[in-house]
Structure 1
Amino acid sequence: MSNPSSYRQPPITALEDRPQQDTRGVLGSRLFAWIGDVVILFFLTWIVWVLLGILGFVTFGLAWLLIGGAALAVVLGYSAVTIGGRRQATLGMRMAGLRVETASGGRPDALAAAVHALFFYVAAGTVALWLIDIACGLVREDRRLGHDILTGLVVVRA
């Protein structure tokens, strides 16, 4: 058994010690990136629904039970693969010249990317939360939205 007094808390990084991240003009670019991603996600979800519809005939309707959660799985999977991937950006973000980093300047993992997307779409689905989310980005100097702060991610210029 380890000695409980041997634990050392990691050092707290001061704001001055964090890397300089270029967040100029990201709010407007994020809107265009989101529009591009919505179009891509529409087509990906449509393809999955068609495949589940066809598979439903083969499985006597059992695959049709998956149609309800298919859109959520597509959205979270898309974000996990693209933001958590090597380029650190969704296809819409790449078109807008953006990428995602951790607050310390590192590369986000797939789980953080999926949770980031989940928080965004929950906020976007509720008007009050969406307005609070956007207000965070308007008042903060680093232009991080509410779901960025909650997940510890930053959207920067690529």
Structure 2
Amino acid sequence: MSNANSWGAPRPAVYPLAPLPASALAGVRRRRIAAVLLDLILVSILSAVLFIVLGVLTLGIAWLFLPSLFPLVAFFYNGLTISGWRRATPGMKAMDLEMRLVDGSPTPFIHASVHAVLFYLSLYLFAPIFLFSLFASDKRCLHDVLAGVIVLRRV
């Protein structure tokens, strides 16, 4: 199989970050767990504040429609923070991590949001899927692979 498309132009490598320095992946799993816990706390606080404020502003009517507020806040929290200039959620920033596409470019909003959806689906539906990371040489979880991103230590 050749590395060219039908016009003869070379295709980009599937994983150009392959020779990653060991320091880029050192302690990533432990740091990601701590970052997720921090981010879950922050998303919970944001959701609770929004729930109360919207409930008070609508005299309680909004409370009928707001049980799905947490996933919505988490979706935009991850999408906006990871696609921002810091390339990390506040939890990831505190743990000295950043997320990039596998080609090294910044993560766009749609990739960050899809990553968040896949993460929460994995967490709530089948948590043992996170064991995939133990067998991956680049310490990526399955939802990282599906979203086309990698989490690295900040350079």
TM over 0.5, shorter chain: yes
Counting only pairs closer than 5 Å after superposition, residues 35-50 of structure 1 correspond to structure 2 as 35-50=37-52
CA distance in 2, matches of 1:115, 1:68: 21
Q: Deviations over 1:14-54 (max 9, x none)?
A: 65x43644222200100110111111111100111001211
Amino acid at match of 2:31: S
Residue 70 of structure 2 is matched in structure 1 by 71
Q: Deviations over 1:42-77 (max 9, x none)?
A: 1100111001211221xx72x334312211111011
Counting only pairs closer than 5 Å after superposition, residues 94-109 of structure 1 correspond to structure 2 as 94-109=93-108
Amino acid at match of 2:78: S
TM-score (norm 1): 0.84
Residue 148 of structure 1 is matched in structure 2 by 144
CA distance in 1, matches of 2:145, 2:47: 28
Amino acid at match of 2:30: G
CA distance in 2, matches of 1:71, 1:149: 25
Residue 127 of structure 2 is matched in structure 1 by 130
Distance 1:112 1:14, change over 3 A: closer
CA distance in 2, matches of 1:8, 1:71: 48
| Alignment match of 2:135 (pick from 139, 145, 148) | 139
TM-score (norm 2): 0.85
Residue correspondences, number:
146
CA distance in 1, matches of 2:116, 2:53: 24
Question: Residue 52 of structure 1 contacts residue 66 of structure 1 at CA under 8 Å; is this kept in 2?
Answer: no
Distance 1:45 1:9, change over 3 A: farther
CA distance in 1, matches of 2:75, 2:39: 12
- Structure with higher helix content: 1
Query: Which runs of 5 or more residues in structure 1 are unaligned?
Result: 1-5
Tell me the percent identity: 29
| Runs of 4+ that moved beyond 3 A | 6-10, 17-21
Amino acid at match of 1:33: A
Question: Residue 19 of structure 1 contacts residue 104 of structure 1 at CA under 8 Å; is this kept in 2?
Answer: no
